[in-house]
């Protein structure tokens, strides 16, 4: 054998030995991790779903839980194991473990615990920091600082502004885009709901009123409309994190994404400069005013740190993106559910007529009386939570106590550093809290219901600051729309032979990108006579 041959053989033995040692070490770590959680039943996979590689695949048994695992499985994994906490342990790229939790009492303990016992794993929030640090992708004192700045903007006065802005935007839609049309066809619901929600949050929170016709025109100095820039960024935010800047020009999609990021950054900067050029009203407490006050030295108390430029833009982006996208997608699902259940749609219409018998314009003060509109909105949020899982981390050794399917008390051991996933989809489809959870029943929100088992706006100290904003917008949209139009599913020849259940599955198909969104939802709005 030649020297070269011996060298290659030695190298092969060396590489093989290192690989074997690495594999043995991974196996040992995997076994230790299982022992640390007392072999709690659950998933055992090669790839961790908390890694990018693990999320590139669909769910594949033994390989990875895959993308959208919690949404696709809902409560089934917990029902199969008879306990509302299950484990997921993977061995590569290192031994990694997590718990999925669908027990309302355990989740309540986690979200309401003061201190840093169950912090967010901020490494998983990189996607949300493309423009800067913000209230969602922060923890501890940094989050408290952002929360203190933003909270005053979500006042009762602002809620009235949200209602009035929503009504005006809906009337503009009816009088311009839908004028003189007895029937309006929308090939995908988000083409209606995304601009609608954007216009509302723009007018009520950022002092940026927009009209339906105006938004179709690209302003001078821009290459995309504000709506298109924000929508593209939301869809392609992962590209900004994974692809280096120099490579963003290699394909048409990458170039479009790069342009959208640049355009949105320009829009946000212009929004700031325009507001800074005006003397603010003393009673103006919208989001932008609150954020701008936090970069003005004269408004800061002793010891307070003003927002940096990137923090300012980062918070504006996240509140715009998350605020309008979640509501838009929820409204899309509401429209689909009402179209699939015309009896519920009629029930809503009849209640609106009882509250507004003279056909007058609904006001914010009517909202408590329009309980069915709010119930429909909440039921859509239960069935299609905008975010299906909230990640946490256990900062210390602890235990959870809960009952299994037989009523037996169980103790789950949680070692320090273990990942915790608040499984919202699993919780919202848990029959322990929601009777017949796969059925659309808005009336379940008209009486007493378990508020600890409803997590669409998160809960506890990190509960969504914009909850009332979204609820107000949703009630206003539904009340005005249903009072004037009926909603139905668009008939398409390629689906002529499908059953009701097949149509329902197709229409309600959803996938999670930044938030849970309908795949394709074609609708028809018919004017009431």
Q: How far apart are CA 276 and CA 292, in angstroms?
A: 8
Q: Any binding-site annotation on 464?
A: yes
Q: What is the pLDDT of residue 4?
A: 65
Please report which confidence band the pLDDT of residue 376 belongs to, taking 50, 70 and 90 as the band edges.
Answer: very high
Task: For 249-268, write each residue's pLDDT tens digit.
Answer: 889 999 999 999 999 999 99
- Do 111 and 458 form a contact (C-beta atoms < 8 A)? yes
- What percentage of the chain carries pLDDT values higher than 90? 60
The runs of H, that is alpha helices, within 287-428 are 287-293, 309-340, 342-355, 371-383, 424-428
Task: For 192-237, write each residue's pLDDT tens digit.
Answer: 999 999 999 988 888 778 788 777 788 899 999 988 898 888 888 8
Phi then psi for residue 500, to 5 deg, are -60, -45
Q: How far apart are CA 314 and CA 310, in angstroms?
A: 6
- What percentage of the chain carries pLDDT values higher than 70? 95
Q: How far apart are CA 67 and CA 96, in angstroms?
A: 17
* Number of helices followed by number of strands (H, E) in the chain: 16, 12
Task: For 382-430, write each residue's pLDDT tens digit.
Answer: 999 999 999 999 999 999 999 999 999 999 999 999 999 999 999 999 9
- Do 325 and 195 form a contact (C-beta atoms < 8 A)? no
Does 202 or 445 have the greater pLDDT score?
445
Q: How far apart are CA 233 and CA 322, in angstroms?
A: 12
Q: How far apart are CA 275 and CA 371, in angstroms?
A: 37
Q: What is the pLDDT of residue 287?
A: 84
Task: For 458-484, write each residue's pLDDT tens digit.
Answer: 998 888 999 999 999 999 999 999 999
Closest CA to 470 of 368, 322, 355: 322
Cα angle value 35/39/44 (rounded, 5°): 105
Q: Between helices 156-172 and 190-205, what is the axis angle to 10°?
A: 140
Residues 6+ apart with CB under 8 A from 40: 85, 86, 87, 99, 412, 413
Q: How far apart are CA 373 and CA 349, in angstroms?
A: 9
Q: What is the pLDDT of residue 18?
A: 83
Q: Return the number of other C-beta atoms located less than 10 Å from residue 24's C-beta.
A: 10
How confident is the model over 68-87, as a mean pLDDT? 96
- Tell me the pTM: 0.92
How confident is the model over 429-434, as a mean pLDDT? 97
Task: For 298-342, write each residue's pLDDT tens digit.
Answer: 666 666 778 888 898 999 888 888 888 899 999 999 999 999 999
- Return mean pLDDT, the chain: 90
Q: What is the pLDDT of residue 301?
A: 67
CB-based contacts of 266-272 (< 8 A; 24+ apart in sequence):
266/221, 266/222, 267/222, 267/226, 267/229, 268/131, 268/313, 268/316, 268/317, 269/313, 271/206, 271/208, 271/316, 272/312, 272/313, 272/316
Cα 297 to Cα 1, 168, 197, 387: the distances in Å are 78, 36, 33, 36
Written as six digits, the tokens of 274 are 């325009």
* DSSP assignments along 423-448, one per residue: EHHHHHT-TTTSSSTTS--GGGGTS-
Say if residue 487's pLDDT is above 90.
yes
Q: Return the number of other C-beta atoms located less than 10 Å from residue 502's C-beta.
A: 11
How confident is the model over 16-42, as a mean pLDDT? 90
Q: What is the pLDDT of residue 90?
A: 93
Q: What is the pLDDT of residue 37?
A: 96
Residues 6+ apart with CB under 8 A from 179: none
How confident is the model over 375-384, as a mean pLDDT? 98
Q: What is the pLDDT of residue 280?
A: 53
Residues 6+ apart with CB under 8 A from 493: none
Q: What is the pLDDT of residue 114?
A: 63
Q: Return the number of other C-beta atoms located less than 10 Å from residue 462's C-beta.
A: 18
Q: What is the pLDDT of residue 193?
A: 96
How confident is the model over 121-141, as a mean pLDDT? 88
Q: How far apart are CA 405 and CA 324, in angstroms?
A: 39
């Amino acid at each position: 054998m030649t020297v070269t041959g011996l060298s290659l053989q030695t190298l092969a033995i060396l590489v093989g030995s290192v690989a074997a040692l690495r594999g043995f070490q991974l196996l040992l770590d995997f076994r230790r991790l299982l022992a640390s959680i007392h072999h709690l039943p659950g998933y055992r996979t090669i790839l961790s779903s908390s890694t990018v590689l693990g999320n590139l695949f669909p769910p594949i048994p033994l390989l990875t839980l895959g993308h959208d695992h919690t949404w696709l499985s809902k409560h089934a994994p917990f029902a199969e194991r008879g306990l509302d906490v299950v484990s997921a342990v993977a061995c590569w790229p290192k031994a990694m473990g997590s718990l999925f939790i669908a027990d309302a009492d355990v989740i309540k303990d986690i979200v309401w615990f003061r201190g840093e016992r169950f912090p967010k794993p901020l490494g998983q929030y990189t996607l949300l920091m493309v423009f800067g640090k913000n209230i969602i992708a922060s923890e501890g004192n940094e989050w408290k600082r952002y929360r203190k700045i933003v909270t005053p903007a979500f006042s009762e006065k602002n809620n009235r502004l949200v209602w009035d802005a929503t009504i005006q935007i809906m009337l503009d839609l009816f009088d311009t885009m839908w004028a003189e049309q007895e029937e309006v066809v929308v090939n995908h619901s988000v083409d209606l709901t995304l601009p609608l929600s954007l216009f509302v949050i723009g007018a009520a929170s950022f002092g940026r009123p927009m009209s339906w016709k105006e938004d179709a025109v690209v302003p001078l100095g821009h290459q995309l409309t504000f709506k298109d820039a924000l929508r593209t960024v939301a869809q392609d935010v992962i590209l900004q994190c994974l692809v280096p800047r120099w490579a963003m020009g290699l394909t048409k999609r990458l170039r479009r994404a790069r342009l959208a990021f640049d355009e949105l950054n320009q829009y946000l900067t212009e929004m700031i400069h325009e507001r800074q050029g005006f003397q603010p009203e003393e009673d103006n407490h919208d989001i932008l005013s609150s954020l701008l006050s936090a970069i003005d030295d004269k408004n800061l108390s002793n010891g307070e740190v003003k927002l940096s430029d990137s923090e300012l833009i980062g918070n504006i982006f996240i509140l715009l993106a998350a605020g309008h996208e979640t509501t838009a997608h929820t409204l899309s699902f509401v429209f689909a559910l009402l179209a699939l259940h015309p009896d519920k749609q009629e029930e809503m219409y009849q209640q609106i007529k009882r509250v507004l018998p003279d056909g007058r314009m609904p006001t914010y003060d009517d909202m408590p009386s329009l309980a069915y509109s709010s119930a429909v909105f909440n039921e859509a949020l239960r069935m299609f939570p905008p975010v299906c899982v909230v990640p946490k981390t256990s900062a210390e050794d602890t235990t959870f106590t809960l009952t299994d399917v037989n009523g037996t008390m169980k103790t789950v051991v949680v070692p320090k550093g273990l990942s915790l996933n608040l499984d919202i989809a699993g919780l919202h489809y848990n029959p322990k809290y929601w009777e017949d959870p796969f059925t659309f029943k808005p009336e379940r929100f008209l009486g007493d219901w378990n508020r600890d088992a409803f997590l669409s706006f998160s809960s506890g100290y990190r509960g969504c600051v914009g909850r009332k904003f979204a609820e107000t917008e949703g009630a206003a949209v539904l009340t005005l729309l249903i009072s004037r139009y009926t909603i139905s599913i668009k008939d398409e020849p390629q689906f002529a032979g499908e059953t009701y259940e097949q149509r329902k599955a197709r229409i309600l198909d959803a996938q999670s990108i930044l938030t849970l969104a309908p795949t394709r939802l074609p609708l028809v709005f018919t004017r009431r006579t």
